[in-house]
Amino acid sequence: MKVLIRIAFYGKDYFGTQKQKKDKTIQGDFEEALSLIFNQEIKVTISSRLDRGVSALDYGISFSCPDGSNLDHLKYFLQRRLGVDVLIKDVREVDEDFSARYSCLYKEYLYLIQLPEKRNPLLNPISYVPTFSISKEKIEEALSLFVGLHDFRAFSTPEGEENTIQSVDEISVRERDGILYLHFKAKSFLRYQIRFMVGAALQYGRGKVSLETISNLLQGKEEKYPKLRAEPQGLLLKHIEYVNIQNLQENISFSSILFE
């Protein structure tokens, strides 16, 4: 029996999502809890490897368990076990060939930047607060270069022989109540890709890198530039769209104050 769990979580106290030997992670906590409830070793597949401090409004975990398992009881047990930093949004049976990672159609991320002159300290844990002035227009101008098919080697940390030619479907920037919302949509992203793209946009806004340099790097050309990886707490996985899986927005909604 294959099961998909959809969760939201606050990442401050997690050392990322991928299992580690000693540190607290989403994968590690779920494998421990599921192994306890089923009294056998359970291995899970996670939808994305998120960095330490990154949060999610929508995150997928798939695994196999004994046929006929009570999913309502499983949802109740997991919520009690994992505490207030994790919300169990949905637990359902899926096809045996389903994968929380590989059955994804696309993912949507947000990166939140507070404008220094309008900053709200209460939002510091889930946003980046720069100490320099920010131009929405310059951020938009730089980020527009990343849309489409490019070589993102200079804007990621590739692993091994990983293909760095990737496509980004959409990027948009909007401002509301002193916050810049940077929205990214693609089937997948390389490690640190969004944080490096945001970093490049910030560097352009400060006059430390040119649009020509960014464009050349996206063509695979060698260029020297002050590479910046934006802070992790501003990044949020907003939504994962899965093949043949009902969109949860109609029965799971979050406050529109920040995320819609």
Q: Is 243 domain-assigned? A: no
Q: Is 10 domain-assigned? A: yes
Q: Is 0.85 topped by the overall pTM?
A: yes
**What is the pLDDT confidence band of residue 250, given thresholds at 50, 70 and 90?**
very low
Q: Which domain holds residue 60?
A: 2-102
pLDDT at res. 86: 96
pLDDT exceeds 60 at position 128: yes
Of residues 245 and 46, the one with the higher pLDDT is 46
**What is the chain's length?**
260
Q: Is 260 domain-assigned? A: no
Pair (187, 110) in one structural domain? yes
Rounded distance, CA 119 to CA 204, Å? 21
pLDDT per residue as tens digits for the range 161-174: 889 999 999 999 99
Among 74, 102, 130, residue at a domain's last position: 102
Pair (130, 83) in one structural domain? no
Pair (51, 83) in one structural domain? yes
Tokens coding 167: 């496509």
The single residue of 13, 23, 29, 51 carrying the catalytic annotation is 51
Pair (175, 201) in one structural domain? yes
**From 98-107, 152-161, 227-236, the region with the lowest mean pLDDT:** 152-161
Q: Is 35 domain-assigned? A: yes
Q: Is 181 domain-assigned? A: yes
Q: Give the total number of structural domains in the chain.
A: 2
186: left (phi over 0), alpha (psi -120 to 50) or beta: beta
pLDDT per residue as tens digits for the range 168-226: 999 999 999 899 999 999 999 999 999 999 999 999 999 999 999 999 999 999 888 88
**What is the pLDDT confidence band of residue 255, given thresholds at 50, 70 and 90?**
very low
Q: Specify whether 51 is catalytic.
A: yes
Q: Is 245 domain-assigned? A: no
Pair (96, 215) in one structural domain? no
Rg (CA), the chain: 19
Q: Is 114 domain-assigned? A: yes
pLDDT at res. 256: 46
Q: Is 246 domain-assigned? A: no
pLDDT per residue as tens digits for the range 10-23: 999 999 999 998 89
Pair (134, 182) in one structural domain? yes
- 149: domain CATH number is 3.30.70.660
pLDDT per residue as tens digits for the range 231-249: 999 999 999 999 877 665 5
Pair (147, 61) in one structural domain? no
